[in-house]
Amino acid sequence: MSDDRTEPVAELSGESVSDFAVVGTDTGVGKTVVTAGLVGWLRGAGVDARAVKPAQTGYPPDDDAGFVADACGTDAAATCLERLEPALAPAVAAEREGVDLSYDAIREGCERELADAAVGVVEGIGGLRVPLADDREVVDLVADLGVPALVVARSGLGTLNHTALTVEALERRGCAVEGIVLNEYEGASVAERTNPDVLADMTGRPVWTLPPLGIDEPRDAVTGVRERLPTDAFPTG
């Protein structure tokens, strides 16, 4: 398990940090908190970073891009390409609502937003195999965008299988995996305490832990992530 925080925040720049995706093993694992924290961290270091949510379902009340914008204190920090009311996979929600959801339009929108920011951070929807549009899934989008991925997963019992399969799915599609963040880590069980090292052995990727952050307001995500994750979590290139 990596816990090295030697590189100062001041050394982060739009030239050193590449565009990347924050993907999850499932829904509700903490992708948005990690995305908000990393985007806010970069913006605090003077980098024009922007989160891109390809599609938001369950809207309202769910609004991941809105959370990131609130955490960073500016609407320029996040954008959402498509919003759908049913809390379902985007392709399923669009079908139920009679909405023409285009995969090509989503991909092109992501490419446009990534090109417009110094660092673009694409936040996934649920897990990798979630249907997005036109028989394409979230993993197709990450692969087509050609960006490395940071995997966010649960910390406790059961995460070994889900996380290793997620890393494997990305690698099979030629996606670089920067590392794994085990969210809400408390070390309260033997499974939790052993999972970081076991996952590092299973996947060959660095594993970092993020404890419960006690977020009272969105900007707390930025402080918590900046204090708890290393700069190694940012893909460089």
Please give the annotated binding residues for substrate, written as ranges: 57
Q: Cα(100)–Cα(103) distance, rounded to whole angstroms?
A: 10
Cβ distance 67 to 219 under 8 Å? no
φ/ψ of 110, rounded to 5, equals -65, -45
**Closest by alpha carbon to 196, among 211, 174, 181, 217?**
181
Which residues are annotated binding-site positions for Mg(2+)? 32, 64, 123
Which residues are annotated binding-site positions for ATP? 28-33, 64, 123-126, 183-184
Directed axis angle between helix 190-203 and helix 159-172, to 10°? 20
Which residues are annotated binding-site positions? 28-33, 57, 64, 123-126, 183-184
53 is catalytic: yes
Q: Beta-strand (E) ranges in the chain?
A: 20-24, 49-53, 78-80, 119-123, 131-133, 136-137, 149-154, 177-183, 207-210
DSSP string, 156-175: STTHHHHHHHHHHHHHHTT-
Q: Which of 42, 51, 52, 53 is catalytic?
A: 53
- Could you give the residue numbers annotated as active site? 53
